Amino acid sequence: MIRVPDPVRYRWIIVLIFVLSTAINYLDRQTLTSLAPLIRAEFHLSNAGFGLILTAFSLTYAASAPFAGWLIDRIGLNRAISVAVALWSCTGIATGWTRGAGSLIACRSALGMTEAAGIPAAGKAIHQYLKPAERAMGNAVNQAGVSLGMMLAPPIATFFAVSGGWRRAFVITGIAGLVCIPLWNWAAQRTKGGDRESGVGDRGILRDRRVWIFVAANALGMVAYSLWTNWTTLYLVDVHHLTLTQAAGYAWIPPVFAVFGGLGGGGLSLRLVERGVAPATARYRACLAASVLALITALVPLAPAPGWAAAGISLSIFAVSAFSVNMYSLPLDVFGGARAAFAVSLLVASYGALQAVISPVFGRIIDLQGYGALAEGASLTPLAACLVLRSAR
């Protein structure tokens, strides 16, 4: 007789499956930025034009996230994530058949719409299976999936682009997502459990001023994350004059530090909670510590060599990741499990809206002035986010 695992004892199993799903999600997403020099050249795009491609993804990502979170809470985690992974994988595959900027924008828009379910679904799983003190660590483990996807994208995308053209890279990463679906369903069937905890309803969340404080703080805190996850390869190619292959040799390093940043931020709040600090207060203290470290972002454009630049970017994204895992735990602490996906989806929407606005602006500033002013501004936004968070305490 096959024994069904106890959902409490084996609560991390389902979270680890989400790590794989998240990694595939970000592998699909980051393939574009990893191949940006090739795509920019083929479609004759300026940096501002490439920023508009990023905006196409971000607009639909932001607009779709609340609906995705609402749907996950209503139809259930298992069905929602299976459908979402299938849709974003097929959209990624379709990107391999684009023949111009218009079709690329269409594919990126569809990808943003479908991938908007990824982080809200992870938030739902984290609240459903983990204890309150463990939630930031759960987000840290999920952040490891984000980082794994970003880490693998440069070498994998570059390998397929060099060997068979950049379009092949999108097809391969899309197929990898489809393979993840039966694995998830296999694990979900064996890890029974459900979150029947009551919580604040959707309308109640929208009327609560704290959620809008979280939305604003999250947008401010993620400026540097948007900068380095989308522009690192172009920065290394344009500023340090590397080839695409050489840039890929550095671009995988910052995501490794993002893993450690997430674990460090999650571990700090976990330790504070175990010492008796209230979860929301512990998250805030961890965010504040990460914000101070994020000031190093301003020094990245002063790096004299690509290795030093990669080191500076790595420390910057380490800090932002430590901030992020605690930021995404706050709605789970405050609003309960019944609307966990919807609460997290509002933060996802805030990041998507931020990126939609700033991506073409980033591109225009880079075309005119380079990266210095951007890095200086991005270094201060996490501290500004902490000032916003203070008003929710």
For the segment 38-53, what is each residue's pLDDT rounded down to a tens digit?
888 888 888 888 888 8
**pLDDT of amino acid 311:** 96
**Domains by residue range for the chain, with CATH:** 11-390 (1.20.1250.20)
pLDDT at 11: 66
pTM of the model: 0.76
Task: Return the biggest CA–CA distance within the chain.
Answer: 68
Q: Please, which pLDDT band fits residue 10 given cuts at 50, 70 and 90? A: low
Handedness of CA 212, 216, 217, 221 (dihedral sign): positive
Q: Name the pLDDT band for 85 (thresholds 50, 70, 90).
A: confident
**Please, which pLDDT band fits residue 217 given cuts at 50, 70 and 90?**
very high
Question: For residue 309, what pLDDT is reported?
Answer: 96
Q: Which residues fall within 8 angstroms of residue 101, CB to CB, at 6 or more apart?
A: 43, 45, 49, 53
pLDDT at position 48, please?
Answer: 85
Tell me the CA distances in angstroms from 114 to 35, 146, 168, 323, one per residue in order: 21, 16, 21, 25
pLDDT at 322 (0 to 100): 95
| Average pLDDT for the chain | 85
Quick one: what percent of the chain has pLDDT higher than 70?
A: 92
- Which DSSP category does 194 fall into? -
pLDDT tens readout for residues 315-342: 999 999 999 999 999 988 888 766 778 8
Which whole number is the average pLDDT over 10-29? 76
DSSP for 29-59, written as a single string? HHHHHHTHHHHHHHTT--HHHHHHHHHHHHH
Q: Average pLDDT of 114-127? A: 85
Least confident of 15-29, 64-78, 179-193, 379-393: 179-193
Is the pLDDT at 190 greater than 70, yes or no?
no
- Which of these, 57, 300, 12, 23, lies nearest to 153 by C-alpha position? 23
pLDDT at res. 4: 42
- Span 80-93, average pLDDT: 89
